[in-house]
């Protein structure tokens, strides 16, 4: 997957970066933290527009490769439009020895019950590490 050809104005990209840096869950994705910290350091040091734009593109690409359809500034990291989800949420086995059961997990509903372990399954993102 490639980066979006559209990147917002520098002030909006900086705002999206600020929000991203405040989202520990998004920063856990491979390559995202490094790219975000590099963009932050360039922004703090007063780097030129072209260098910042290249860094923002790299960050956008890292986010999209990790399944974040919004990229850097394609949408809010806060509440979203009903029915649109940047990640596919699933319920997975809560046990120490994981089974292959995967169920769809809706935000406002509890995860399904695990009949083997007698507890609710835990919510995760599809493809993310446990």
102: closest CA among 18, 17, 49, 111?
111
What percent of the chain stands above pLDDT 70?
A: 78
Query: Which burial class, exposed, middle or buried, applies to 47 when counting CB atoms under 10 A from its CB (0-12, 13-18, 19+)?
Result: middle
CA Rg value for the chain? 17
pLDDT at 43: 85
pLDDT in tens, 15-25: 788 888 888 88
pLDDT in tens, 10-56: 777 887 888 888 888 888 888 999 999 999 898 888 888 889 889 99
Number of Cβ within a 10 Å radius of residue 71: 22
pTM to 2 decimal places? 0.55
Residue 75 near residue 10, CB atoms below 8 Å: no
């Amino acid at each position: 997957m490639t980066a979006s050809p559209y990147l917002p104005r520098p002030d909006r990209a900086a705002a999206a970066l600020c929000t991203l840096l405040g989202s520990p869950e998004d920063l856990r994705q491979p390559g995202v933290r490094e790219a975000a910290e590099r963009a932050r350091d360039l922004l703090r040091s007063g780097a030129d527009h072209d260098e910042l734009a290249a860094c923002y593109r790299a960050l956008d690409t890292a986010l999209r490769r990790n399944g974040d359809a919004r990229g850097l500034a394609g949408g809010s990291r806060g509440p979203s439009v009903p029915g649109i989800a940047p990640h596919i949420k699933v319920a997975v086995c809560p046990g120490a020895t994981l089974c292959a059961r995967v169920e769809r997990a809706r935000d406002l509903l509890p995860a399904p019950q695990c009949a083997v372990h007698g507890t609710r399954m835990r919510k995760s993102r599809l493809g993310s590490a446990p």
